[in-house]
Each structure stands twice: as structure tokens, then as C-alpha cells.
């Protein structure tokens, strides 16, 4: 495994070199705090006297810049120090001639050219001392082998997207004290809920926790909206890490009304029952507090006890200094711009600013997003950005972007901040047509050209083998857009008419629930997009969902009735199955349905989840349906669900009193168990699950549990998992690596960190 060390800043590189040479030389090398080092990054004493180590991370400057620096500045320092022996290390690759040249510069203090260490030597030491490699998180995380392992441990699709995006940003990650707290909670409790204010860094922390454990052979599952996607691939006994960012979203009341709170609590309980599972969730503090207040499920669970929670409420001054320093080091802004930050120690003003957060620091150190090309105007730009963080997108959006780019951003924001390229391309053309946008220049305003422009300022564009996904570069883009357009009903109508996704309809409902748009505006927007959807014959799923969103008038009812009759006469698969059932209940008297066979086609191959099972049971019970095919299909769907649910929960049974393990004289493992007792335990789980539905209709179904459900459960796999569970999951030792003292938050300590010598 070979590194060029580009993912480390200069301070991190110094720590690595000291660790490696301490191991190689077999002695403790004393390291000093950052600052003016006088040519000393490390020191140790031998019988002959003082030995000094100096490190130079000169990837940006190259070999010529390094040699010039050593001759003019470092050699005089070493002569003044007059050590017994001098060691020099650099991240640059060095030839034999290069080493001789450096040795001669520091003659007579460097005794042998072998006391000069280049990139190849350091990689050799890393191979010899793998524990040091493990200690330096950012280093090994970027290695080819680890990257390959990480990607292989992601489920395909969005999770793979997420991992690739997180890896691209990992070099900017700073391991603050919250990192180690999070690691401790996750390792010991296996569930971690990170709460904090927007922009504080909770998502970045969660993402890097995921990255770390994925590199340790955990399969990574990114959850977007529904835990059903995680439950579908929950495999007992296999190392899996689940990530649910902003798990209550901005509409926690909607989440609670849809029973997502109990769903989350149940999933946490499942994770806790399996030592090979980890679960990370994030939430804004006010949303989580509101969720706990309104949710009985949260209140009665361990979430209320907060034993899994890490509140990301503050950063120390040194944490902030380290974040700013790292962003400057890895920024693509020129030295002239960086000088403006250092002038009169302005970096201290940034660090102490009331609005400091990592999201803003990323913004002000990205040259693609700096609104001026004049370095003398840079400090004014920084101050304005920090003082008015919600307005940082105004200039980009209103002045530096054209109407075509703005439309791309608007469509993405109102599609819940993420959209596939196929959906965005189609919606972009529709919106431009609605607004009759005219190209006032001869430049190309097609989707490909405009999406490239938008990606530079507003988007992150990710691609895998099957699709391209656009997400917002920063959540504050959405905050700005929503504030700018919340009252522009005409524009909102055009945007939502152009979007043809269920996500956009959920976003519209969310905006109403959050009171970002008024109830009156919501009704007007919904009415317009409702009629447009039927006029342009959008997908059946879209029409089902929008018809179920809100009570409608006489004109809308007639359209819904006609639409539902078309489904009854020519049925098709409907993903929004619960919404369809609700509509059939509402308009049952007008539809006068005689035969419900069409529902079998509507379900298709869809595996019904818990909520859909409950809706279907209620539907059958209320209408007193006796259609044999419907009843048979419902029971089959229920049994499929129970089999899956039992497979997921079967290893929760305590087999320690049922299965006896012993070893023969030949040291072979002997297993003895009572199959009848195991069957009774399994049947008990199924009966409890049926009771959970709280449905008399389901309770009264004649289900042959033994034949239709237990027969599909592998007792052998249960026994195997029981044997494996006797061994605790082994987490590798993980040590803190820091180049400053967390307790030292003084201006002098910050000056030392920012010293450019």
C-alpha cells in the first residue's frame, strides 16, 4: 500500500513522521506544540547528545521549492542549534541523488544519506508498523485497498453514491472531541443519535463514523425515508451499519402520525438484539426535542433516556481553529487570498465569530464560491458571509445565475433536495416551457450545459452504473430558496406542475405543515397541480397519491372517480397501495364495486409492509369483503410478511436454555436441542406479531402457522447464529490522534497552530 500523504495537512504529517521514526529508531521522540519550531519537529537524546528531527510536507511546492527552502531558511537554523545528529523527512519522493543533496545542505549534522527519509521510506515504515497506519485515520482511509473494501461493503444504488461522496470529502474531516465521544457510544451501545443545530457538523461526524466502520467490513446501508429499505436487507449475524440522516426530517409531526416513531423504536430494538449491527441517526435538536415531546413511542423508549445520544452543541476554540486551518490547507484559494486571513490575525476573528460553523468555513474557503476575484475584497466577503449566513446564496442565485440555472436549483429544492438526472431533465424542459424562457444570447441553454453550470455552484452530481443523482451542495441553499419563493404562488405552481415525483408532493405537504406556505396557498397550489396532473396524464402512482392528499371539490371528485374506474377496469401495479385503498374507501358509494379481483393486480409483486398490511386489513373489514381471491391474496401477503418478520427476529430467542453445546473426546462440537421447544418459541413470536396489528380481522384469520410460516424458517441457521453469538464482536483498537491540547484554547495556542513557518 503506497501513499503520497496528500490527505494530511502539515501538522498531521509531522505527527505521522514522529510516530514512524519513534518505532523505527526504537526510542520515544519528543514532539512540541505547533508554532515557530526553530527547525525542531522532534527531539531525542542519545549517549552522544541531542538528536533533532525536522519534517517538511512540501507536496504543493515540489522538490525545487523544498531545496530552496532548506538552503535559505532551515540550514542556518540547524547550524545555530548545533545538534549531535540531524534527521530530515519529507512527503516528497526522493532519489539517491536528492538524498545526497539534502545531506550536503545539512553537513555535518546529517551523518548519512540514509538519515534523510522520503515518501518511499515512510511507506516502507508504514508497512513495517501497521498499528501506526491504523492510528492515522485520514491516511489509511484513502488507501486503494480500503477504498475498494468500502465500496464493496456498500449496497448498490444510493448507498454507494453516499459512500463515494463521503470519501471525497473525508480529507477535510477534523477529529474533534465529539469524534471520540461518538465512537465510544457507537462501540458500546451500537446505536448513536447525534443532535445539533444546522451546520454544526453532526452530519459530517455521522458520515465519517459510517466510513470508519464500513472500512472494517460493515455493510453500509443509507436510509432515505423509510426503514423498510433497511429491514429488507437486515441479515442477522452479518456486520451491517445503518445510517439515517435527519431521521425525523423537518416534519416530525407527520412522521409521528404515520407511525414512523414506533417503527424507528422497533428497529433500534432489533439492532440492539444483534451484536453485529450498528445504527446512526442525526436530527436537528429542536426537531428531536419536539419528536420526543409528541411521541409516546419515543418517550417510553431508550431515546427518552438519551443513553444513545450525543448532543453536538458546541465546538471549543481549538476545535474551530483546527477546522479553519484544515480548510485553508486543503483549499484551492491562492496565497494572496490566504494572506488576507492571516493579516492582523484575522483568523482569530473568524474562529470567535458568533456564527462560526463548519458549513460556512467550507463556503468561504472554496474559490468556486467566492464572489470576488480581487484578494483585497476577500476579507469583506468573509465578514459579510459570517454576519449574514442565510443570505450567502443571494448573489449567486439572483445575480450570477440565469433563469435556466435557477430553475434547475428550484426543481431540486422542491423535490426534497435530491433528484435523479432523468427526473430533473424532464422537469427542466417542462418548467422552461411553462415559463416560456427565452434565450437572450447565443449560448447553449440546454440541460447538459446548464447542469454543468449549476453543479459548479449549487449541486453535487453523483453517478453509478445505473443513474445520476443531483443533490444540493449545502442545505443552506434550500433555506435561502424557501425563504425567497415561499410567497410566490405562481412560481410554486409551475415548479410543482413540472415535477412528476411523489417526493415533490411530500415536500409540498411538508411546507404546509411547517407553515412555510399558508393553508390557503397550499390549497391553490394543490388544486392547480391536481388538474395539471390529470390533464397531462401523469403516472398512476402520482395520481393516486395526489388524489389522497387533501379533500377536494366537486370537479376534482369526478376526475378521481373516472380515474379509479379506469384502474378497476384496467388494473396495474400501484406502489402507493395504501393511498389507493383509502381512495376506494372514500368513494366506495360512488364506485359501487362488485368485484375486487383487480386488487390482486394492483398489489402485483409488491411486498406489503406493516402499514400496508394494517390498511388492507382495515379496508377488507370495513367493506366486509368476501371475495375469495382478495381474501386469499391478503392472507398470502400477510404470511409472506410474517415469514420475513420472523426471519428477522428469530435470533432474538434465547437459545441458551434450549441448545446444549459440548465437546467430544475428539474435541468435536456436539449440539443437542429440543426442536419442539424452538417451534413453540417461534410460534410465540408470530402470535405476538399478529397481536401487534391490533386488528380483529387479522386475529380471526385461520393461519396455519406451523405449515405456512415455521416451515420456512431455518432452525439450523438459528443454531449457527447462537454459536457465533457466544463471541462478542471484535472492534479494533482506535487511538486518538491530535496535534493540539484540547484544554488549550488560548489565542497563543491558536497562533502557534496557524504559524506559517
pLDDT digits (tens, 9 = 90+) for 709-751: 999 988 888 887 777 665 444 444 444 445 445 556 678 888 8
**How crowded is the C-beta side of 405, counted as CA atoms within 13 Å?**
18
Q: pLDDT above 70 covers what percent of the chain?
A: 83
With H, G, I as helix, E, B as strand and everything else as coil, classify residue 311.
strand
The gap between the terminal CA atoms of the chain, to the nearest Å, is 31
pLDDT, averaged across the chain? 82
Neighbours of 184 (CB within 10 A): 13
Burial per residue of 149-182, b for 16 or more beta-carbon CB atoms within 10 angstroms, e otherwise:
ebeebbbeebbbbbbbbbbeebbbbbbbebbebb
Separation of alpha carbons 659 and 490, rounded Å = 68
pLDDT at 296 > cutoff 60? no
Architecture label for domain 393-510? Orthogonal Bundle (1.10)
pLDDT at 297 > cutoff 70? no
pLDDT in tens, 312-346: 667 888 889 999 999 998 888 899 999 999 999 99
pLDDT in tens, 152-168: 555 555 567 677 777 77
Separation of alpha carbons 241 and 239, rounded Å = 7
Rg of the chain taking only CA atoms, in angstroms: 31
Tell me the three cell numbers of residue 424: 430533473
Q: Which of 326, 11, 8, 324 is nearest to 138 (CA)?
A: 8
Q: What is the pLDDT of residue 303?
A: 58
Which tops the pLDDT comparison, 446 or 563?
563
Which tops the pLDDT comparison, 154 or 577?
577
Separation of alpha carbons 611 and 227, rounded Å = 12
Task: Scan for cell 486571513, then name that residue.
Answer: 341
Using 50, 70 and 90 to split pLDDT, how confident is the model at 456? Answer: low
With H, G, I as helix, E, B as strand and everything else as coil, classify residue 51.
strand
Q: Which of 348, 420, 433 is nearest to 382 (CA)?
A: 348
Q: What is the mean pLDDT of residues 446-473?
A: 80
Separation of alpha carbons 469 and 158, rounded Å = 9
Instruction: Give the orientation angle of helix 335-342 with respect to helix 378-387, to 10 degrees.
Output: 60
126: exposed, middle or buried (Cβ count in 10 Å: 0-12, 13-18, 19+): buried
pLDDT at 21 > cutoff 70? yes
Q: What is the pLDDT of residue 577?
A: 93
What is the β-pairing status of strands 669-673 and 468-472?
Answer: unpaired
pLDDT at 224 > cutoff 60? yes
Fill in the DSSP letter of residue 154. B
Instruction: Give the orientation angle of helix 144-152 with respect to helix 158-169, to 10 degrees.
Output: 150
Q: What is the pLDDT of residue 112?
A: 92
Q: What is the pLDDT of residue 434?
A: 92
Dihedral sign for Cα 713, 716, 719, 724, please. Answer: negative
**Lowest-confidence segment of 217-221, 543-547, 738-742 by average pLDDT:** 738-742
Task: Scan for cell 453516499, then name that residue.
Answer: 162
Task: Scan for cell 383487480, then name that residue.
Answer: 598
Instruction: Give the orientation angle of helix 519-535 with respect to helix 502-513, to 10 degrees.
Output: 170
> What separation in angstroms does the CA of 471 have from each of 162, 239, 397, 408, 475?
11, 28, 16, 11, 9
With H, G, I as helix, E, B as strand and everything else as coil, classify residue 557.
helix
Q: Which of 549, 551, 701, 705 is nearest to 621 (CA)?
A: 701
pLDDT in tens, 478-509: 888 998 999 999 999 999 999 999 999 999 99
pLDDT in tens, 43-62: 888 887 889 999 988 877 78
Q: What is the mean pLDDT of residues 64-70?
A: 89
Separation of alpha carbons 87 and 757, rounded Å = 18
Dihedral sign for Cα 148, 648, 247, 192, please. Answer: negative
- Main-chain dihedrals φ then ψ at residue 575, nearest 5 degrees: -70, -40
Separation of alpha carbons 6 and 61, rounded Å = 12
Torsion of CA 615, 618, 624, 628, to 10 degrees: 50
Using 50, 70 and 90 to split pLDDT, how confident is the model at 109? Answer: very high
Using 50, 70 and 90 to split pLDDT, how confident is the model at 254? Answer: very low
Separation of alpha carbons 595 and 592, rounded Å = 9
What number does CATH give the domain 140-312? 3.40.50
Q: What is the mean pLDDT of residues 647-655?
A: 79
The verdict on whether omega for the bond into residue 108 sits within 30 degrees of 0, i.e. cis, is: yes
> What separation in angstroms does the CA of 303 have from each of 195, 222, 270, 272, 298?
12, 21, 14, 13, 6
Amino acid at each position: 500500500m503506497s501513499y503520497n500523504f496528500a490527505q494530511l495537512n502539515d501538522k498531521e504529517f509531522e505527527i505521522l513522521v514522529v510516530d514512524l521514526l519513534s518505532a523505527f529508531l526504537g526510542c520515544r521522540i519528543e514532539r512540541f506544540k505547533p508554532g515557530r519550531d526553530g527547525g525542531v519537529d522532534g527531539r531525542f537524546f542519545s549517549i552522544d547528545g541531542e538528536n533533532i528531527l525536522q519534517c517538511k510536507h512540501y507536496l504543493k511546492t515540489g522538490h525545487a521549492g523544498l531545496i530552496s527552502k532548506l538552503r535559505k531558511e532551515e540550514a542556518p537554523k540547524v547550524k545555530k542549534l548545533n545538534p549531535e545528529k540531524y534527521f530530515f523527512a519529507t512527503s516528497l519522493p526522493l532519489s539517491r541523488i536528492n538524498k545526497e543533496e539534502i545531506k550536503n545542505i545539512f553537513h555535518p549534522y546529517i551523518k548519512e544519506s540514509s538519515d534523510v527519509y522520503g515518501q518511499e521510506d515512510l511507506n516502507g515504515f508504514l508497512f513495517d508498523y501497521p498499528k501506526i497506519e491504523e492510528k492515522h485515520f485520514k491516511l489509511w482511509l484513502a488507501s486503494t485497498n480500503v477504498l475498494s473494501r468500502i465500496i464493496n461493503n456498500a449496497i448498490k444504488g444510493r448507498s454507494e453514491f453516499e459512500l463515494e461522496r463521503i470519501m471525497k470529502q473525508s480529507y477535510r474531516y477534523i477529529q474533534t472531541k465529539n469524534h471520540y465521544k461518538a465512537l465510544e457510544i457507537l462501540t458500546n451501545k451500537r446505536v448513536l443519535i447525534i443532535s445539533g443545530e444546522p451546520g454544526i457538523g453532526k452530519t459530517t461526524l455521522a458520515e465519517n463514523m459510517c466510513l470508519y466502520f464500513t472500512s472494517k467490513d460493515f455493510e453500509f446501508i443509507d436510509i432515505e425515508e423509510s426503514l423498510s429499505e433497511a429491514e429488507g436487507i437486515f441479515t442477522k449475524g452479518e456486520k451491517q451499519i445503518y445510517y439515517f440522516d435527519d431521521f425525523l426530517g423537518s416534519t416530525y409531526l407527520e412522521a409521528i402520525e404515520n407511525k414512523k416513531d414506533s417503527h424507528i423504536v422497533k428497529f433500534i430494538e432489533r439492532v440492539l438484539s444483534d451484536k453485529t449491527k450498528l445504527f446512526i441517526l442525526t436530527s436537528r435538536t429542536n426537531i428531536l426535542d419536539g419528536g420526543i415531546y409528541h411521541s409516546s413511542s419515543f418517550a417510553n423508549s431508550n431515546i427518552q433516556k438519551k443513553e444513545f445520544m450525543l448532543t453536538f452543541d458546541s465546538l471549543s476554540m481549538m476545535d474551530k481553529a483546527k477546522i479553519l486551518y484544515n480548510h485553508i490547507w486543503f483549499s484551492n484559494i491562492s496565497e494572496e487570498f490566504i494572506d488576507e486571513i492571516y493579516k492582523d490575525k484575522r483568523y482569530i476573528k473568524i474562529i470567535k465569530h458568533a456564527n462560526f460553523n463548519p458549513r460556512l468555513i467550507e463556503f468561504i474557503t472554496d474559490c468556486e464560491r467566492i464572489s470576488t476575484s480581487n484578494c483585497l475584497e476577500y476579507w469583506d466577503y468573509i465578514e459579510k458571509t459570517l454576519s449574514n449566513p442565510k443570505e450567502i446564496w443571494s448573489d449567486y442565485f439572483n445575480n450570477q445565475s440565469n433563469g435556466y440555472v435557477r430553475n434547475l436549483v428550484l426543481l431540486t429544492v422542491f423535490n426534497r433536495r435530491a433528484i435523479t438526472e432523468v427526473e430533473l431533465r424532464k422537469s427542466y424542459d417542462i418548467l422552461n416551457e411553462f415559463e416560456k424562457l427565452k434565450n437572450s444570447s447565443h449560448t447553449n441553454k440546454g440541460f447538459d450545459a446548464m447542469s454543468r453550470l449549476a453543479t459548479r455552484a449549487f449541486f453535487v452530481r453523483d453517478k453509478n452504473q445505473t443513474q445520476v443523482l443531483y443533490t444540493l451542495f449545502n442545505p443552506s441553499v434550500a433555506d435561502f430558496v424557501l425563504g425567497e419563493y415561499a410567497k410566490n404562488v405562481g412560481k410554486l405552481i409551475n415548479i410543482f406542475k413540472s415535477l412528476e415525483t411523489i417526493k415533490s408532493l411530500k415536500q409540498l405537504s411538508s411546507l404546509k405543515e411547517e407553515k412555510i406556505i399558508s393553508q390557503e396557498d397550499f390549497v391553490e397550489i394543490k388544486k392547480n397541480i391536481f388538474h395539471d396532473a390529470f390533464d397531462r396524464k401523469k403516472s398512476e402512482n402520482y395520481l393516486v397519491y395526489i388524489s389522497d392528499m387533501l379533500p377536494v371539490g366537486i370537479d376534482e371528485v369526478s376526475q378521481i372517480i373516472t380515474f379509479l374506474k379506469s384502474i378497476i377496469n384496467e388494473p396495474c401495479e400501484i406502489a402507493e397501495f395504501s393511498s389507493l385503498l383509502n381512495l376506494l374507501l372514500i368513494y366506495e358509494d360512488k364506485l359501487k364495486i362488485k368485484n375486487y379481483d383487480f386488487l390482486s393486480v394492483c398489489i402485483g409483486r409488491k411486498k406489503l409492509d406493516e402499514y400496508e398490511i394494517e390498511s388492507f386489513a382495515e379496508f377488507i373489514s370495513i367493506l366486509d369483503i368476501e371475495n375469495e381471491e382478495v381474501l386469499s391474496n391478503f392472507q398470502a401477503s400477510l404470511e409472506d410478511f410474517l415469514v420475513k418478520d420472523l426471519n428477522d427476529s428469530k435470533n432474538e430467542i434465547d437459545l441458551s436454555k434450549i441448545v446444549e453445546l459440548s465437546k467430544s473426546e475428539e474435541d468435536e462440537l456436539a449440539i443437542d436441542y429440543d426442536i419442539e421447544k424452538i417451534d413453540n418459541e417461534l410460534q410465540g413470536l408470530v402470535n405476538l406479531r399478529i397481536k401487534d396489528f391490533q386488528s380483529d380481522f387479522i386475529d380471526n384469520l385461520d393461519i396455519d402457522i406451523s405449515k405456512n410460516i415455521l416451515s420456512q424458517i431455518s432452525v439450523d441457521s438459528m443454531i449457527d447464529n447462537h454459536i457465533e453469538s457466544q463471541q462478542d464482536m471484535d472492534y479494533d483498537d482506535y487511538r486518538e490522534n491530535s496535534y493540539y491540547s484540547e484544554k488549550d484554547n488560548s489565542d497563543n495556542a491558536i497562533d502557534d497552530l496557524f504559524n506559517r513557518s
